[in-house]
């Protein structure tokens, strides 16, 4: 199995709290991005104290209460399934703060991390604040919810976005990369993908590859898998009959999303 593909674990952290994924510097080739996916049962709590990292808590499904022990946000979350195709709520917590999440319903919660030195205010990112984009044409159409785009200057290094790709369409396509710190042409952003597929027995294909093909891995990605993108192009293809969801976390030395399309495939944009 590709070293870039992570299957969900079932690590019981505490009563009602299960860790499905943890991606960090110790268990991945990433240096900037961290990611956790936790499932929380109603009434159960998850607490964490941040060091020099910031965290975007995304209520992927269900409703949660989030407190940084100064402010408390209740009713965070808008959907029972990501395939309702509507944005959700998130809460941003900056470095050197602690937080507690309490599940109001059965909830899937993504914890998206990146480096942070200058402490910023805690804030709820309402679903209605998400920039919604209908990107692409032909069989390259996808729905994008920008949770923390690079235009949002309220955080230090974190970028968070979710994408819905319908049956027989491609996304993160034409293949693009953002793996060199060479602005204005391209920025260096590591990336993680947390995938969900409807119906859940489905799979999508994701390829992660470099120009010199020193890295070239094509994966069959299944429901609730994570794909790690340290470098390279990273297109996703969705088989007929299935719908794809993924949540992206990106971070690097500069908080700018400037990607470079694979020249071999950029022509499709001219149609």
Q: Which residues bind ligand LJL3ZJ5K (CB under 6 A)?
A: 135, 142, 161, 163, 171-172, 191, 234, 248, 259
Residues 6+ apart with CB under 8 A from 205: 218, 219, 220, 221, 236, 237, 239
| 20/38 Cα distance (integer angstroms) | 6
Nearer to ligand LJL3ZJ5K, 62 or 136 (CB): 136
Q: How far is the CB of 189 from ligand LJL3ZJ5K (least distance, A)?
A: 7
Q: How far is the CB of 195 from ligand LJL3ZJ5K (least distance, A)?
A: 12
Residue with token string 């998130």: 90
- Two structure tokens written together for 43: 């009434």
Residue 27 is given by DSSP the state T
Nearer to ligand LJL3ZJ5K, 20 or 159 (CB): 159
Q: How far is the CB of 66 from ligand LJL3ZJ5K (least distance, A)?
A: 24
Nearer to ligand LJL3ZJ5K, 38 or 148 (CB): 148
Tell whether the torsion through CA atoms of 110, 58, 52 and 192 is positive or negative.
positive
Nearer to ligand LJL3ZJ5K, 88 or 171 (CB): 171
| 118/39 Cα distance (integer angstroms) | 30
Q: How far is the CB of 234 from ligand LJL3ZJ5K (least distance, A)?
A: 6
Nearer to ligand LJL3ZJ5K, 46 or 233 (CB): 233
In 3-state terms, what secondary structure has residue 173? coil
Residues 6+ apart with CB under 8 A from 152: none
- Two structure tokens written together for 142: 């996808």
Q: How far is the CB of 11 from ligand LJL3ZJ5K (least distance, A)?
A: 27
């Amino acid at each position: 199995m590709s070293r870039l593909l992570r299957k969900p674990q079932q690590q019981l952290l505490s009563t009602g709290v299960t860790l499905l994924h943890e991606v960090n510097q110790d268990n991945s080739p990433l240096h900037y991005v961290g990611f956790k996916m936790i499932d929380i049962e109603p009434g159960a709590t998850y607490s964490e104290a941040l060091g020099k990292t910031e965290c975007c808590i995304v209520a992927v499904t269900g409703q949660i209460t989030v407190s940084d022990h100064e402010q408390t946000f209740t009713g965070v979350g808008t959907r029972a399934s990501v395939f309702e195709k509507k944005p959700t709520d998130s809460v941003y917590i900056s470095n050197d703060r602690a937080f507690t999440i309490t599940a109001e319903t059965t909830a899937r919660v993504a914890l998206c991390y990146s480096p942070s030195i200058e402490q910023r205010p805690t804030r709820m990112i309402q679903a209605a604040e998400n920039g919604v984009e209908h990107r692409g044409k032909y069989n390259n159409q996808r729905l994008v919810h920008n949770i923390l785009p690079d235009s949002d200057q309220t955080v230090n290094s974190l970028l968070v976005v979710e994408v819905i790709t319908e049956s027989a369409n491609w996304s993160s396509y034409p293949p693009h990369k953002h793996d060199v710190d060479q602005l204005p042409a391209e920025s260096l952003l590591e990336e993680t993908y947390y995938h969900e597929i409807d119906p859940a027995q489905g799979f999508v294909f994701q390829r992660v590859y470099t120009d010199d093909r020193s890295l070239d891995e094509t994966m069959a990605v299944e429901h609730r898998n994570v794909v790690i993108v340290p470098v390279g192009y990273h297109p996703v293809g969705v088989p007929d009959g299935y719908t794809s969801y993924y949540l992206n976390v990106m971070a690097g030395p500069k908080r700018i999303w400037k990607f470079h399309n694979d020249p071999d495939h950029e022509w499709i944009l001219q149609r």
